[in-house]
Amino acid sequence: MTADPTLWPALSYPDWRDTAATLQLWTQIVGKIRLQLTPWVNHGWQVPLYVTARGLGTSPMPVGHEMLEIEFDFISHGLVIRTSRGDEKALPLVPQSVADFHQRLMDLLAGLGMKVAINEMPNELPDPIRFPDDRTHAAYDRDAAHRFWRVLVQTDRIFKLFRSGFLGKVSPVHFFWGSFDLAVTRFSGRKAPLHPGGVPFLPDAVAREAYSHEVSSAGFWPGSAAYPHAAFYSYAYPEPPGFRDWPMPDGAAFDTTLGEFILPYEAVRTASDPDGLLLSFLAASYEAAANPGNWERRALECSLGAPGKVRPV
């Protein structure tokens, strides 16, 4: 017996690659607005988007003495802009070039008296094109975007449950628009060696600040031209000896090219217990970092949280 396909829908990257490429660039424009408006937080935690009940949103951002919020609505298929003054504007999500999306969004913000200047070059993508000049990427398949968001809804739910089993420093569940993935990260509490940098089209200073401390990070991404498969992943920085050989649940394995553990989304989607398989992968890949890395597991871990129940001390 497999999972309910409406909860874990099919998401074949080749079937929606053009929409995925365009949508990633649209999210980068919105994400860079958040980057411009929000004070820097450790590990770049001020820049991601978050899964919402309708799509992906910025959460409130300060603009002077007011707040601005931008949300991709994948039910009504609009980009919704709200302010603490009561303003609400929407930009329809339809096939349109990145250049047009960028201009229309900036015009809406300017009309609200909230003009924002952003860095117009995409991040972490090969052969980037400035947003105002990009008329190459212009696809938008409503059904594909909705399926992608439905996968994020389920993934966000499981990641938040997994997050609750850690007493140490742990990130919120973030959607990083640069790499177009949903991620959650646990920290050992110790500083890490200086990151070498070298992430394509990402300043080395950003990468080094993001990886200033030891981490075990897991996430989901829908695929890319270089790796055209939706998958869950997990990696450690720095990678401890023995990490790659740690036993994984069926279907998961270490990918030497990517340098991380991979669990294909299709394996989760078609499993009899998708939640259980994904939680097993998250637990096993965390142990692969924590055990060989000598994390203080007794001090850092706890049982998974339950709604309405105070955690015992």
Nearest alpha-carbon partner for 162 in 281, 35, 313: 281
| φ, ψ (nearest 5 deg) of residue 214 | -60, 135
Does residue 45 contact residue 171 with C-beta atoms inside 8 Å?
yes
DSSP secondary structure string for all residues of 219-286: EEE---SSS-S-EEEEEEESPPTTGGGS---TT-EEETTTTEEEEEHHHHHTSS-HHHHHHHHHHHHH
CA distance 293 to 297: 10
Q: Report long-range pairs for 168-172 (Cβ below 8 Å, ≥24 apart).
A: 168/299, 168/300, 169/213, 171/43, 171/45, 172/45, 172/50
Nearest alpha-carbon partner for 215 in 285, 273, 312: 285
Q: One digit per residue, pLDDT tens: the chain, 313 residues? A: 455 777 999 999 999 999 999 999 999 999 999 999 999 999 999 999 999 999 999 999 999 999 999 999 999 999 999 999 999 999 999 999 999 999 999 999 999 999 899 999 999 999 999 999 999 999 999 999 999 999 999 999 999 999 999 999 999 999 999 999 999 999 999 999 999 999 888 999 999 999 999 999 999 999 998 899 999 999 999 999 999 999 999 999 999 999 999 999 999 999 999 999 999 999 999 999 999 999 999 999 999 999 999 998 8
| φ, ψ (nearest 5 deg) of residue 8 | -120, 80
The interaxial angle of helices 13-37 and 98-111, nearest 10 deg, is 30
Lookup: tokens for 306: 């339950």
Locate the domains of the chain by residue range: 17-133, 143-300
